[in-house]
Amino acid sequence: MSRASSVVLSAYVLRRGCPVEAALERAGDHGASVSVTLEGHPDGGATRSGDLARSNLRTAAALRRHGVAVRLTSAGEVPLHMKAAVVDGTAFLDDRNWAGDGRDTILATADPPEVAAVSAALAGREAGTQDLALDKSRALRLESRAIYAAVGDRIDVQSETFGYSPVYSALRYRAEHGTHVRLVVAAREFEGRGRGVERGALRRLREAGVEIRLASGDEKMCIAGDRGWVGSANASYAGAPMRDWGMQTRDSGLIADLETRFQTTWDGARPARP
């Protein structure tokens, strides 16, 4: 990215000092066309939301000093949760916020329809392909379809937050019909204030037979037999519009990588008591 000639990137929050932020600055320094969109009004608890908003303001100020065009979304816009970039004609999709700590799953594609779709979404237009969703509601529908269609006796899902969504319905259905379902959610969100809806959904899943654990990670993925899904969309309420992404895949190599990442997280997680 630091040697690119053209970069368009979005994130929910972009921390100062992360590798991607530094690469954007270097690209701006050598004259590349670099534009970044960040969420101007991060959701969540009041204190944490304010901290995230201030973080984006600091990052925006730093990037602008290096010639980067930065826009913070305004109140009333569709919320921005999509972590995506197009760099010299290649699209990159991150399930986290470009943290660069080795725990992100980042997909790269040079497929013209997918690159065109990501470019359109970065410009604020509705877009997507058969297997790539660039809004939250469709992303979760893709994930739920993978769960319903899965062949095999186990389904693994990880989400930072959780709630009543198509994914909830699909996991409950599969668990009630004998599939071994394992679910990991983020301990920070689970233990935070105002998480009654999440606890209720998880309690009902546990009663249906879903095994649930808490972890420090915040990745979003699904491994369902020969089908996989990865995205930035949390398996929470999907009724309101949100710029987000999710991709379903039958690529065996990617599915194997997701399985390894999930198992590592599962082994280090602790049981949830919703």
- Alpha-carbon distance of 57 to 40, in angstroms, equals 8
154-184 residue pLDDT tens = 999 999 999 999 999 999 999 999 999 999 9
Domains belonging to the chain, first-starting first, are 6-129 (3.30.870.10), 136-271 (3.30.870.10)
Least confident segment among 44-48, 151-155, 268-272 = 44-48
What is the band of 47 on the pLDDT scale with cuts at 50, 70, 90? Answer: very low
**In the predicted model, is pLDDT for residue 131 greater than 70?**
yes
- Alpha-carbon distance of 220 to 246, in angstroms, equals 9
pLDDT given for residue 103 in this prediction: 82
**In the predicted model, is pLDDT for residue 48 greater than 70?**
no
**HSE-up (13 A, CA, CB side) for residue 89:** 3
- Alpha-carbon distance of 46 to 52, in angstroms, equals 10
**Strand 84-87 to 90-94 pairing:** antiparallel
Q: 84 near 91, Cβ under 8 Å? A: yes
Q: 42 near 52, Cβ under 8 Å? A: yes
Q: How many residues does the chain have?
A: 274
180-203 residue pLDDT tens = 999 999 998 888 755 778 899 999
**In the predicted model, is pLDDT for residue 44 greater than 80?**
no
**In the predicted model, is pLDDT for residue 49 greater than 90?**
no
- Alpha-carbon distance of 132 to 176, in angstroms, equals 29
137-149 residue pLDDT tens = 999 999 999 999 9
pLDDT given for residue 224 in this prediction: 96
Does the model's pTM come out above 0.85? Answer: yes
- % pLDDT > 70, the chain: 96
83-92 residue pLDDT tens = 999 999 999 9
